[in-house]
Amino acid sequence: MTNEQIARRFNQMASLMEVRREDPFRLRSYRMAAEAIETWPTEMSEIAQQQGLAGVLEIPGVGKALAGKIVELVETGTFEAWEKLTAETPATVLDLLELPGVGPKTAAMLHQKYKIASLDDLRKFAEGGGLEQVDGIGQKTADRIKKNLDRMP
């Protein structure tokens, strides 16, 4: 697994945690670690193989818990915290954040209150007039979301 792939997974983890309104300090630590990993000159897989956990801990912004997740990710392609989180909140919820007009708070509310977990779910919801019934989404925002949904594959 490349540094870029590890960084992407950590950023996805942070985004899912944000959608779930989890501790902002924890999600910030994932984002900071992702940034450090992405720009690190040596591949995490190489560091993990040669130096183990101790080598990964030398990366700024990577503490013991995140270092363990990196080693687990390199060795198995996933890590337990990711599997737990995506079992409760599908990774497809991240697709909602790609849609202009839908931020973390809106995505969280749509997922938690209306069980919308993908762009297809949101399309069906919007086509059925659901967006107009959502508190906090005005007509302009509903129209913008619908227009942007039409542009998405």
* 92 DSSP 8-state letter: T
| pTM higher than 0.95 | no
Q: For the chain, what percent of residues have pLDDT higher than 90?
A: 63
Given a cut of 90, whether residue 10 has pLDDT beyond it is: yes
pLDDT digits (tens, 9 = 90+) for 39-86: 999 999 999 999 999 999 999 999 999 999 999 999 999 999 999 999
Q: Give the pair of three-digit tokens for residue 12.
A: 């996805």
Complete domains list, the chain, with CATH:
3-88 (1.10.150.110), 93-151 (1.10.150.20)
Give the count of beta carbons closer than 10 Å to the beta carbon of residue 118: 16
Distance CA 73, CA 26 (A): 18
Phi, psi of 75 (to 5 degrees): -80, -35
